[in-house]
A and B are shown apart, each in its own frame.
Chain A
């Protein structure tokens, strides 16, 4: 007992001693809001298919530090509203989040996209699609067949899990709220698994879940689903910078993204050997098999230049659906 108490006393003393000297690991320069900041704050929001978020952005951060000459503090944030509000008050300098989050942010914050992810060396390969899937033998082969059916979506604010499909449905003359029974499953994987389990007749989810993620995890097998709809491409994940930053810094970010990709980042020494992977086959014969860095949460090859106009498809979807989440009045 006595020794226990002594140990505790020592620990307490150690905590206080540690506090007295040394800077907190979370200490920050006092001013990060001016246009000549001492460091850049980089926020990443998990997208539907991101894994190991912070680790996968480390090489990207290293590239930006190299080209801007500024230290970059990266933070993974679970909620898009948190990042957008920090952008409104000019406290997040660079952010990577879903395309729909950019649509929302562009209304309230002074931000601009400078790059978007690119899954292969092919320009525009970062685009994603929404798939409509059903169980084999359900008799559903087109959007029109969905009238009166139970349909699983992901979330009303998900582009691939609802908005893109809703726009297509409306163009086909079907009201996604009235003419069918929408069920919001909360996530892509649950929408697919519950559709297979029979809770709904069809499901709309991001393509990668059906073609890659769920089969890779052993959660669905080939032949569990039949695809009856593929949406128009939706622009990929944007990298967004604050307009309050000096042109120099913005140019630095753009340069970092133009200059490096997952493969050349290895040569530049942006990732340790144990953080490297093999470049996959879709990246083309030139690089396939050579070592590559993780380059962002989606396993991208590179970030290609992007402009605000690239995100017009989202605005069109919002115009068609007049969805509540689109907040046209803002």
Chain B
């Protein structure tokens, strides 16, 4: 990655000689924050934020939390079966999505050298997959595959491609072009170049995205209730729906344990495959083998291979749990076509436009808060920057716990304290945005090259100076990308607004699906795609300016 040591904002102050003249600060570095700032100011007004109300509702919050304890898990074997089912479906879905995403992302990246239409097709598939909520994939796939885990896993897989594919595309575009050009010069074909350079360089980030998506898919598994599959998310939703809060708390505790384990695995994997995960050393990926051309084995390589093998075995085991019968499939297609014809002609109403607007304002406002708080948390939990490993682990743990509690619980707690309305929804959304953003940022900071930081420290730079000059310039592209991605996810999670009576597109989508008004569903989908594409274009533009 081309690294500039010039801190942003020094333009014009340095009377530097011509060759070392710092580049003009790209417009994107201030236009995007300006837009977000303006939307946030508008959003805060729209939401009618009243901090005093939180204090007034404090008693109601404690009373509600009190009703969640003592937490109970219900019969343990039953819960264990739910956990296994959830993991199977989530691993199968995420695994399929990861496999599909790699070629799609390679084709969508602007480093792709093949035909333009392939690039265009890949980008379209990724955007559409991200814009269409898994709820919609679920109701379609249940017609094709019938009730059961297969429809659920595929709904998860189709929607996950959007996120994994998008993030992989970003990474492919960010990594250094030098190795690619070098291998290209040897006459290697496109596939060989990709595997030898881009894929290998991007592997650490790719694994962290896939594992993070697995984390999301475990949490989002309540969608499986719509396809007749079970799982822990469905049990949680039912417990909340029947006000059985102690059991809900017990299930949440189990989810948090699962997420903690996943976070630990993710961290270990990143340490194993990342060039910069270790403190300062330039790790030797492969030791020398007997001959020059064949790399040898050392403990890290054995570990990596064993890890990969374990992952593949788990994935295959999970896949085998989804029974798909061929003759069911043959009939399913007819059902699905009959259903999909119900989607045309799409109906787009003023209500849908307003719902999109509400959701977008809320999502962007919550994102601004989430990104700012998330950045602080991420900086403090990165070992390179703050050399207190315990703090890093503690913060990561706290974020996992915050993430493990579903939006609906935050929403209900804030509704009890503040009454119905957008304020409660905003708070719930801001919390989940903070958890999202700090997770993204921590992973991205973990992967930056510590060289510049160490160099600055060696010449006596302070912590802040080392961060601003050594880490920030490397981090800006993923900061922008991840911030807009947080906004994108927040827009999808804005279904939480429906829980607090604040409207939004999520509520309308759900209403259209439950009342079988698929023409409106189609209209909402088109609206969502337009918004997601717009956000995507902004992100692309901003990133082009700063990379």
Task: With A8-B35, A51-B517 as known contacts, state yes or no: A325 contacts B238, CB within 8 Å.
Answer: yes
Residue A24 interfacial (CB < 8 Å): yes
A214 — which chain B residues lie within 8 A by C-beta?
516
Residue A309 interfacial (CB < 8 Å): no
Task: With A24-B46, A104-B243, A219-B516 as known contacts, state yes or no: A155 contacts B228, CB within 8 Å.
Answer: no
Contact B34 A8 (CB under 8 A): yes
Contact B48 A28 (CB under 8 A): yes
Contact B241 A82 (CB under 8 A): no
Q: How far is the CB of A217 from chain B (nearest CB, A)?
A: 5
Interface-facing stretch out of A12-20, A243-251, A286-294: A12-20
Contact B48 A26 (CB under 8 A): yes
B147 — which chain A residues lie within 8 A by C-beta?
152, 183, 185, 190, 194, 199-200
B347 — which chain A residues lie within 8 A by C-beta?
none
Contact A82 B420 (CB under 8 A): yes
Contact B143 A197 (CB under 8 A): yes
Residue in chain B with minimal CB distance to A23? B48
Cα distance A81–B420 when bound, in Å? 12
**Which one of B226, B415, B503, B515 lies within 8 Å of A91 (CB-CB)?**
B415
Cα distance A12–B419 when bound, in Å? 30
Contact A26 B226 (CB under 8 A): no
Cα distance A262–B142 when bound, in Å? 38
Cα distance A194–B545 when bound, in Å? 51
Contact B243 A78 (CB under 8 A): no
Contact A76 B507 (CB under 8 A): yes
Return the CB mask of B498-537 against A: 1 if under 8 Å, else 0: 1111110011001100111100000000000000000000
B514 — which chain A residues lie within 8 A by C-beta?
46, 48, 187
A81 — which chain B residues lie within 8 A by C-beta?
240-241, 243, 408, 412
CB contacts under 8 Å to B, within A178-211, are 183-187, 189-190, 193-194, 197-200
**Which one of A32, A79, A184, A197 lies within 8 Å of B335 (CB-CB)?**
A197
**Which one of A75, A83, A187, A330 lies within 8 Å of B421 (CB-CB)?**
A75
B457 — which chain A residues lie within 8 A by C-beta?
none
Residue B324 interfacial (CB < 8 Å): no
**Which one of A25, A190, A218 lies within 8 Å of B139 (CB-CB)?**
A190
Contact B335 A25 (CB under 8 A): no
Contact B420 A186 (CB under 8 A): no
CB contacts under 8 Å to B, within A202-258, are 213-214, 217-219
Task: With A184-B228, A190-B142 as known contacts, state yes or no: A16 contacts B507, CB within 8 Å.
Answer: no
Residue B104 interfacial (CB < 8 Å): no
Contact B31 A5 (CB under 8 A): yes
Cα distance A194–B151 when bound, in Å? 12
CB contacts under 8 Å to B, within A39-64, are 41, 43, 46, 48-51, 53
CB contacts under 8 Å to B, within A85-141, are 85-86, 88-89, 91-92, 104, 107-108
Q: How far is the CB of A306 from chain B (nearest CB, A)?
A: 22
Contact A11 B38 (CB under 8 A): yes
**Which one of A15, A48, A186 lies within 8 Å of B227 (CB-CB)?**
A186
Return the CB mask of B135-149 against A: 1 if under 8 Å, else 0: 000010011001110
CB contacts under 8 Å to A, within B409-428, are 411-413, 415-423
Residue B120 interfacial (CB < 8 Å): no
Residue A272 interfacial (CB < 8 Å): no
Total A-B residue contacts, Cβ distance less than 8 Å:
200
Return the CB mask of B458-500 against A: 1 if under 8 Å, else 0: 0000000000000000000000000000000000000100111
Contact B241 A79 (CB under 8 A): yes
B516 — which chain A residues lie within 8 A by C-beta?
189, 213-214, 217, 219
Contact B515 A51 (CB under 8 A): yes
Residue B45 interfacial (CB < 8 Å): yes
Contact B146 A197 (CB under 8 A): yes
Q: How far is the CB of A324 from chain B (nearest CB, A)?
A: 7
CB contacts under 8 Å to A, within B32-55, are 34-35, 37-39, 41-42, 44-48, 50
Identify the interface centre among B64, B495, B514: most chain A CB within 10 Å of its CB.
B514
Could you tell me which B residues sit within 8 Å of A by CB distance? 27, 31, 34-35, 37-39, 41-42, 44-48, 50, 57, 60, 63-64, 67, 139, 142-143, 146-148, 225-228, 230, 234, 238, 240-244, 328, 331-332, 335, 342, 408, 411-413, 415-423, 495, 498-503, 506-507, 510-511, 514-517
A-B contact pairs, 24 of them (CB 8 A): A1-B27, A8-B35, A9-B34, A16-B41, A19-B42, A26-B421, A41-B420, A51-B515, A75-B421, A75-B501, A78-B495, A79-B408, A81-B240, A82-B501, A85-B415, A86-B419, A88-B63, A88-B416, A89-B64, A91-B418, A108-B243, A186-B228, A187-B226, A325-B238
Could you tell me which A residues sit within 8 Å of B by CB distance? 1, 5, 8-9, 11-12, 15-16, 18-19, 24-28, 30, 32, 41, 43, 46, 48-51, 53, 75-86, 88-89, 91-92, 104, 107-108, 152, 155-157, 183-187, 189-190, 193-194, 197-200, 213-214, 217-219, 324-327, 330
